[in-house]
Chain A
Amino acid sequence: MNEYILSMKAISKEFPGVRALDNVTFSVKPAEIHALVGENGAGKSTLMKILSGVYPHGTYGGTIEIDQTEKRFKSPGESERSGIAIIYQELALVKELSIVENICLGNEIARCGVIDWDASYRLAEKSLKGVGLNVNPEFPISYLGVGEQQLVAIAKALSKDARILVLDEPTAALSEEESAKLLKILRDLRAKGVTCIYISHRLKEVFDIADRITVLRDGKTVATHDKKDLDENKLIALMVGREVTNKYPKTTRTAGEVVLEVRDWTVFDPDINKTIADVSFKLRKGEVLGMAGLIGAGRTELVMSFFRFWGRKVKGKLFLEGKELELRDAGSTIASGISLASEDRKRYGLVLDEDICKNISLASLDKIASYSVVNVIDEIRSAERYTKELRIKTPSIEQKAGNLSGGNQQKVVLGKWLMTTPKVLILDEPTRGIDVGARVEIYNIINELVDKGVAVIVISSDLSEILGVCDRILVMHEGRFTVDLPVKEATQEKIMHYATGGK
Chain B
Amino acid sequence: MKISFVQNIRKYTMLIALIGIWLIFSIMTQGVFVSPRNLSNLFLQTAAVAVITIGMTLVIVTRNIDLSVGSVAAFAGAVTAFMNVKMGMPAGAAIGIALVTGLAIGAWHGFWIAYRLVPAFIVTLASMMIFRGAVLGITNGATIAPLSAGFKSIGQSYLAPGISLWIGLAVACIFVVKNILNRQKRLKFGFSVPALPIFIIKVLVVCAVIAAFFMIMIQNRGVPYAVVLVLALAVLFNFMSTRTVFGRQLYAIGGNPDAASLSGIDVRKQVMMLYVIFGALTAIGGMVLTARLNAATTSAGQGMELDVIAAAVIGGTSLMGGEGTIWGSVIGALIMASLDNGMSLMDTNITYQYIIKGMILLLAVWVDIATRKKT
Q: Which residues of A contact B (CB under 8 A)?
A: 307, 309, 329-335, 340, 342, 347-354, 358, 362-363, 365-366, 369, 372-374, 376-377, 380, 384, 396, 398, 416
In the complex, the chain A residue whose C-beta lies closest to that of B182 is A376
Q: A351-B252, A380-B189, A396-B191 in contact; A372/B246 too (CB < 8 A)?
A: yes
- Known contacts A351-B252, A374-B243; is-contact A363 B264 (Cβ 8 Å): yes
Nearest 3 Cβ contacts at the A-B interface: A331-B264, A351-B255, A363-B263
CB within 8 Å of A: which B172-217 residues: 185, 189-192
Chain A residues with CB below 8 A from B246, complex form = 372
**Given A351-B252, A358-B248, A362-B252, CB of A335 within 8 Å of CB of B264:** yes
Partner of A350, one of B191, B256, B266, B323: B256
Q: A349 CA to B262 CA in the complex, in Å? A: 8
17 more A-B contacts (CB under 8 A) besides A347-B256, A351-B322, A358-B252? Answer: A307-B262, A330-B263, A330-B265, A347-B259, A348-B258, A348-B262, A349-B259, A350-B259, A351-B252, A351-B259, A358-B251, A362-B259, A372-B246, A373-B244, A374-B244, A384-B189, A396-B192
- A276→B266 CA distance, assembly (Å): 26
- Given A351-B256, A365-B245, decide whether A342 and B192 contact each other with a Cβ distance below 8 A: no
Knowing A366-B245, A369-B244, A372-B246 are in contact, say whether A354-B261 is a contact too (CB < 8 A).
no
Report B-chain residues with C-beta under 8 Å of the C-beta of A334.
Answer: 263-264
B263 adjacent to A362 (CB under 8 Å) = yes
Beyond A351-B255, A384-B189, whether A331 also contacts B244 by CB under 8 A is: no
Contacts of B192 in A (CB 8 A): 396, 398
- How many angstroms from the CA of A373 to the CA of B245 in the assembled complex? 6
- Is there an interface contact between A354 and B252, defined as CB atoms closer than 8 Å? yes
Interface: B260 (CB within 8 A): yes
How many chain B residues sit at the interface, stated as a range, is: 20 to 34
Q: Is B53 an interface residue (CB 8 A)?
A: no
B249 within 8 Å of A (CB atoms)? yes
Interchain Cβ contacts under 8 Å between A and B, 23 examples: A309-B262, A329-B264, A329-B266, A330-B261, A330-B264, A334-B263, A342-B262, A348-B262, A349-B262, A350-B256, A350-B259, A351-B256, A351-B260, A353-B255, A354-B322, A358-B248, A362-B263, A363-B263, A372-B246, A373-B245, A377-B185, A384-B189, A398-B192
With A348-B259, A365-B248, A398-B192 as contacts: A353 and B264 at CB distance below 8 Å? no
The CA-CA distance from A248 to B354 in the complex, in Å, is 67
Report Cα–Cα, A351/B259, bound state, in Å.
7
B:204-255 near A, CB below 8 Å: 243-246, 248-249, 251-252, 255
Contacts of A353 in B (CB 8 A): 255, 322-323
Residues of chain B within 8 A of A329, CB atoms compared: 264, 266
Contact of A416 among B190, B263, B265 (CB under 8 A): B263
In the complex, what's the smallest C-beta–C-beta distance from B341 to chain A, in angstroms? 35
Complex: A25 Cα to B264 Cα, angstroms:
47
Q: Which of chain B's residues have a CB closer than 8 A to the CB of A331?
A: 264-266
Which of B191, B243, B256 meets A398, CB within 8 Å? B191
Nearest CB in chain B to that of A304: its residue: B262
CA separation between A353 and B265, bound complex, in Å?
18
Q: Give A417 Cβ to nearest chain B Cβ, in Å.
A: 9
- Residues of A with C-beta under 8 A to B185: 377
CA distance A331 to B262 in the complex (A): 8
In the complex, which residue of chain A has the Cβ closest to the Cβ of B322? Answer: A353
Residue in A332, A352, A365, A376 whose CB lies within 8 Å of B256? A352
Whether B262 pairs with A372 at a CB distance below 8 angstroms is no
Mark interface residues in B74-110 (1 if CB within 8 Å of A CB, else 0).
0000000000000000000000000000000000000
Q: How far is the CA of A334 from the CA of B248 in the complex (A)?
A: 18
User: Which one of A340, A349, A354 has the highest number of Cβ atoms from chain B below 10 Å of its Cβ?
Assistant: A354
Q: Would you give the shortest CB distance from A298 to chain B, in whole angstroms?
A: 18
Known contacts A351-B322, A398-B191; decide if A309 and B261 are in contact (CB<8 Å): yes
In the complex, the chain B residue whose C-beta lies closest to that of A362 is B263
- A369 lies within 8 A of B245 (CB): yes
Docked complex Cα distance between A207 and B205 (Å):
77
Q: Closest approach, in angstroms, between the C-beta of A323 and any C-beta of chain B?
A: 19
A376 CA / B245 CA spacing, docked (Å): 11
> Nearest residue in B to A379 (C-beta to C-beta)?
B248
Given A309-B261, A353-B323, A362-B252, check contact A374 B266 (CB 8 Å). Answer: no
* A395 to B: closest C-beta gap in Å: 8
Q: Which of A333, A362, A369, A376 has the most CB of B within 10 A?
A: A362
- The CA-CA distance from A342 to B258 in the complex, in Å, is 11
A383 nearest CB neighbor, chain B only: B189
Q: Tell me whether A340 and B262 are in contact in the complex, defined as CB-CB below 8 angstroms, given that A351-B322, A396-B190, A396-B191 are known contacts.
A: yes
Closest to A420 in B: B264
Distance (whole angstroms) from the CB of B8 to the closest CB of chain A: 14
For A354, give its contact among B190, B243, B255, B262 (CB under 8 Å).
B255
Q: How far is the CA of A361 from the CA of B256 in the complex (A)?
A: 15
Closest chain B residue to A363 by CB distance? B263
**Chain A hits for B189, CB < 8 A:** 380, 384
Residue among B185, B246, B248, B266 having the largest count of chain A Cβ atoms under 10 Å? B248
Looking at the assembled complex, report how far the CB atom of B36 sits from the nearest CB atom of chain A, in whole angstroms.
38
Which of A307, A330, A340, A396 has the most C-beta atoms of chain B within 10 angstroms of its own C-beta?
A: A330
Which A residues are in CB contact (< 8 Å) with B245?
365-366, 369, 372-374
**Closest residue on chain A to residue B247 by CB atoms:** A374
Residues of A within 8 A of B264 (CB): 329-335, 363
Identify A330's interface contact among B244, B255, B262, CB under 8 A: B262
Shortest A391–chain B CB gap in Å is 17
Among B189, B252, B256: residue with most chain A CB under 10 A = B256
Task: Determine the chain B residues whose CB is within 8 A of the CB of A354 once the complex forms.
Answer: 251-252, 255, 322
Q: Is the CB of A376 within 8 A of B265?
A: no
Chain B residues positioned under 8 Å from A349 (CB to CB): 259, 262
Across the interface, which residues of B come within 8 angstroms of A335, CB to CB?
264
User: Quick one: given A369-B245, A384-B189, A396-B192, are A362 and B260 in contact (CB under 8 Å)?
Assistant: yes
